[in-house]
């Protein structure tokens, strides 16, 4: 895992388990003998290592105290749920992960020996401003919603990219001011809201390292590959500026591979000329047509059978072929099975891109 906290932030990181251990202090006094016994076991295991309460900044100590941390976090990372839950303890806005669940470890293992999870969309300055909003909300008491989703993009064992959304549980985190922290007025907050991307202004109001982030967070992750890829597909097909880019087809192909979980998937396009009732090649970077194959245009009834024509052009619905070879034999080699069979294609989905009913 990445072990770095070297970027400029308004929050100094102090790794501590004190807030969680305070819960065990209370549980140790419980009338429930089982809860009290378990709490005392955790507290006794931690007692020889006061630094785990006081806090530390040396990331390497997460490895040094790994066994004790596992005991402290045993209730938060129940072993019986570890095969299903995708979660890890971490530091917010940093790629520092520890005490991961069994399923998360398996996901990382499948990604390959050289893979390290990295938060997506960490543009310069954005994390600083996100840290400031946390301070404004939890220390100063203002109600700002600058929240943004964080994701890990992790390839699976077959090389297909999976997307995991991260939700932070900050129950065991404290925000503490330092002598360099400033008073913030409503007028200051209004000024910040009017300049949401002015990083220097945010640094002036809430200087670097002016607060301490004491504790840790629990990162709960959810596989959102399907939702994410559908959104990416819609964006790509709608955005004319993306369609002209050099990597349009390659990027869109990768998106479809994630959606269908098929590494060998290929993507092709044709344009429908309604006036001449023919399909025509789309010319552009990497554009292919597996219906036209080597031709530049062809009338529809030479490329489509009656059923596929009706589905695609009359009903404006998708047409799927699960087994090209089987359909080729049953149909006697008619279109579109003959063209696909010639190209060695095993299965296919044809889908019309419909705009305002056309």
Query: How confident is the model at residue 2, as a pLDDT?
Result: 43
Does 218 score more than 50 pLDDT? Answer: yes
pLDDT confidence band for 100 (50 / 70 / 90): very high
Mean pLDDT check: name the lowest of 12-21, 240-249, 285-294, 302-311: 240-249
Reported as half-sphere exposure (CB side, CA atoms, 13 A), residue 8 has a value of 12
With CA atoms as reference, report the closest residue to 336 among 296, 308, 299, 314: 308
Number of helices followed by number of strands (H, E) in the chain: 16, 13
pLDDT reading at 241 higher than 60: no
Q: What is the pLDDT, as a whole number, of residue 3?
A: 46
Q: Is the pLDDT of residue 71 over 60?
A: yes
DSSP state of 99: S
CA distance linking residue 76 with residue 30, whole number of Å: 19
- Quick one: pLDDT band at residue 240, thresholds 50, 70, 90? low
Tens-place pLDDT, residues 84-95: 999 999 987 788
How far apart are the C-alpha atoms of 331 and 59, rounded to whole Å? Answer: 65
- Report if pTM > 0.75: no
Task: Determine the 3-state secondary structure of 47 from DSSP.
Answer: coil
Distances (CA, A) of 229 to 115, 116, 232: 22, 22, 5
* DSSP state at residue 110: H
Cα(317)–Cα(320) distance, integer angstroms: 10
- At 174, is the secondary structure helix, strand, or coil? strand
Distance CA 243, CA 240 (A): 5
CB atoms within 10 A of CB 344: 8
pLDDT at residue 242 tops 70: no
Tell me the domain boundaries of the chain: 11-223, 268-350
Cis check: omega of the bond before 185, within 30 degrees of 0: no
CA distance 309 to 143: 56
**Residue range 105-158, pLDDT digits in tens:** 999 999 998 888 888 866 667 889 889 999 999 999 998 876 677 889 999 998
Residue 245 has pLDDT above 80, yes or no: no
From CA 11, how far away is CA 8, in angstroms rounded?
Answer: 9
Task: Give the integer Cα–Cα distance in Å for 84 and 216.
Answer: 22
Query: CB of 36 within 8 A of CB of 44?
Result: no
């Amino acid at each position: 895992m990445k072990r770095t906290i070297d970027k400029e932030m308004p929050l100094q990181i102090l790794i501590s388990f004190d807030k969680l251990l305070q819960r065990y202090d209370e549980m140790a006094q419980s009338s429930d003998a089982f809860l009290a016994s378990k709490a005392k076991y955790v507290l006794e295991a931690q007692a020889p290592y006061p630094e785990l309460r006081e806090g530390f900044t040396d990331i390497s100590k997460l490895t040094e105290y790994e066994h004790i941390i596992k005991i402290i976090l045993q209730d938060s990372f129940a072993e019986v749920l570890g095969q299903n839950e995708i979660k890890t303890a971490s530091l917010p806005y940093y790629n520092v992960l520890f005490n991961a669940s069994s399923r998360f470890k398996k996901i990382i293992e499948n990604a390959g020996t050289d893979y390290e999870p990295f938060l997506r969309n960490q543009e310069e300055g954005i994390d600083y401003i996100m840290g400031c909003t946390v301070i404004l909300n939890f220390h100063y008491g203002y109600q700002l919603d600058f929240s943004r989703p964080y994701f890990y993009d992790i390839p699976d064992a077959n090389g297909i990219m999976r997307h995991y959304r991260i939700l932070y549980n900050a129950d065991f985190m404290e925000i503490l001011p330092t002598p360099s922290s400033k008073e913030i007025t409503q007028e200051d907050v209004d000024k910040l809201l009017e300049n949401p991307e002015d990083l220097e202004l945010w640094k002036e109001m809430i200087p670097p390292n002016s607060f301490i982030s004491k504790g840790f967070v629990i990162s709960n992750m959810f596989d959102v590959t399907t939702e994410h890829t559908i959104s990416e597909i819609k964006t790509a097909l709608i955005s004319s500026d993306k369609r002209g880019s050099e990597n349009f087809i390659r990027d869109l192909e990768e998106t479809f591979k994630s959606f269908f979980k098929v590494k060998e998937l290929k993507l092709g396009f044709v344009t429908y000329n309604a006036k001449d009732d023919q399909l025509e090649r789309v010319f552009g970077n990497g554009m292919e047509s597996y219906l036209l194959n080597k031709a530049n245009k062809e009338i529809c009834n030479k490329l489509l059978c009656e059923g596929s024509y009706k589905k695609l052009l009359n009903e404006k619905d998708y047409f799927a072929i699960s087994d090209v070879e089987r359909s080729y034999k049953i149909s006697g080699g008619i279109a579109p099975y003959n063209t696909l069979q010639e190209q060695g294609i095993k299965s296919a989905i044809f889908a019309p891109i419909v705009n305002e009913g056309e």
